[in-house]
Amino acid sequence: MTSYEHKRRVYDMEAYDDLMNRMKEYLLLYSAAGVVQWDYETYMPPKGLMLRSEQLAVIHQILHRMGTDPEIGKLLGKAEKNSKKLNEVQNRNVFMVRREYDKETKIPEDLVARIAKQTPISLETWKKAKATSDWKLFEPELQKTLDLGRERAEIEMKVKGIPILYDSMLDEFERGITSKQITKVFKELRDRLVPLTKKCADASKDLDTSFLSKKVPIDVQRKIATDLSTLVGYDTVTDKAGGRIDEVEHPFTTGYYDDVRITVKYHEDNVSSAVYAILHEAGHALYEQNLNPEWKYMPIGSNASFGVHESQSRFLENMVCRSPEFLKFYLPKLKEFTGGSFPGVDDATFIKAMNLVKPSLIRIEADEVTYALHIIVRFEIEQDLFSDKVTVSELPQVWNEKYREYLGIDVPDDGNGVLQDTHWASGYFGYFPSYALGNIYDGMLLDKMQQDLPDWLNGVAKGEILPIVNWMKEKVHVQSAMYDPAELMERVTGRKLTAEPFLEYVENKYSSIFGF
């Protein structure tokens, strides 16, 4: 390389390096905003609502300014001009910055501030409305949140060249997915899960699960939560801990690499709720903690998608820790923690109870088989909302009708119905399909893992969960955002998106447990 070529190479890399330095500053502030949001959800005193709303608005305004600085556009132009001299990782970083820059530069700063200011108000109103089952209290705030979300999505769909408004919203959570693709795979799920639900429900109609309603003190449940999180590799107790567990109305995970926090809601008369909330959120947290450390502070050093995120939480929660092998292993420990609250409960009864399939009202309490039906209800409602087929005021009625149609149950009140989830209050329109896509990804991942780790269930029977976590780390976590979700799944499993492996898994598992 000549002296001139060397200088030219250095010059070419300066633009890319400057771009990445700016992204590091952006990501540091963004992660700090997450801690502020976490505090709002956990320990903020009630009087702090309006102050916190203003704080978040200012932070997001600053982030918007940072992300839309014209200098970033210049640096992107220089980096893209010399893309042949960048490696695959560097070009992926540039692509991801470009994707966000083109979108965010079209979003008015005023709109960013209005969304950031409205969200905590909407969330706080939702909490009160849910507690009192008062839809009318929440309806006007949801309408404001929806209008703001629509305003943003209408701008984004033009930038991204996506012709359907709702598809633009889906793309924010699952890059490249369309409502047409989701409709197809969700139909496959619905057509086979509805009859499977009936078979399971009929086979277990005489099963006594009342022992799961025995009261377990909250302080005991906290100990169980710590034990479970430690078992799966989510450290909250040592001097090297990168996590913690706190209590909220609706469980969630937030954080970045070395500081990833999970939350849970305890119910004295439903210890299994806390067990699986902890496992679910720990799955999310492990994914965040195991992202490629070499890509920290880079755009590529984030998760692949919300659907992939849900696959990691639901794989640990359901495929590993609802397995008969895990439940046989953990029942003695659960009895020990609860001081004999479950005397006389044998392995077979416990396995059936923890895998009970029964149409229910609450999504986060739903069993593995009916869960996707809850998501299909929300997906269809969102499609109708953003194609102007239903209005916000009609949501309770539409919700109740779909629950009657798909799950065969009547919704007694809005607190147990349309008000049960936090997502719409947060403005997360288009998020819900990610949960069922996570199930679909899980089926594909399980099929591949069983080829690579044929004895994994024997390890689970002894409480050995870390080999599974490490397999996921190698195959999924460290890939971070190098690939869009569809490509990631195809690279890991060798298959294009298909619901078949997941459907085969649930059909085989539940026919074995319930004997049909």
How confident is the model over 105-117, as pLDDT tens digits? 999 989 999 999 9
Q: Which of 281, 288, 368, 382 is catalytic?
A: 281
CA distances from 285 to 249, 257, 313, 397 (A): 19, 9, 8, 36
**Tokens encoding 422:** 């936090």
In this predicted model, what pLDDT tens digit does every residue of 223-244 receive, in sequence order?
Answer: 999 999 999 999 999 999 999 9
Residue 157 near residue 170 (C-beta atoms within 8 A): no
Burial environment of residue 435 by CB neighbours within 10 A (0 to 12, 13 to 18, 19 or more): buried
Q: For this structure, is 281 an active site residue?
A: yes
Note the pLDDT of residue 414.
98
Task: Tally Cβ neighbours within 10 Å of residue 1.
Answer: 8
Note the pLDDT of residue 8.
53
**Tokens encoding 20:** 């990445």
Note the pLDDT of residue 4.
44
Q: Is 261 helix (H, G, I), strand (E, B) or coil?
A: strand
Note the pLDDT of residue 190.
93
Whole-angstrom distance, CA of residue 378 vs CA of residue 94:
35
**Domain-wise residue ranges, the chain:** 3-173, 179-386+429-514
Residue 158 near residue 458 (C-beta atoms within 8 A): no
Note the pLDDT of residue 279.
97
308's enclosing H/E stretch is helix 306-314
pTM of the model: 0.90
Q: Which residues of 85-106 are buried (b: 16+ CB within 10 A; e: fewer)?
A: ebeebbbbbbebbbeebebbee
263's enclosing H/E stretch is strand 259-264
- CA nearest neighbour of 319 among 232, 423, 208: 232
- CA nearest neighbour of 48 among 65, 31, 60, 36: 36
Note the pLDDT of residue 365.
83
Q: What percent of the chain has pLDDT over 90?
A: 93
**What's the fold here for domain 179-386+429-514?**
Neurolysin; domain 3 (1.10.1370)
Note the pLDDT of residue 11.
52
Note the pLDDT of residue 342.
86
CA distances from 76 to 27, 103, 386 (A): 17, 14, 33
- Which residues of the chain carry a pLDDT beneath 70? 1-12
State the residue for tokens 């990168």: 242
Q: Is 29 helix (H, G, I), strand (E, B) or coil?
A: helix
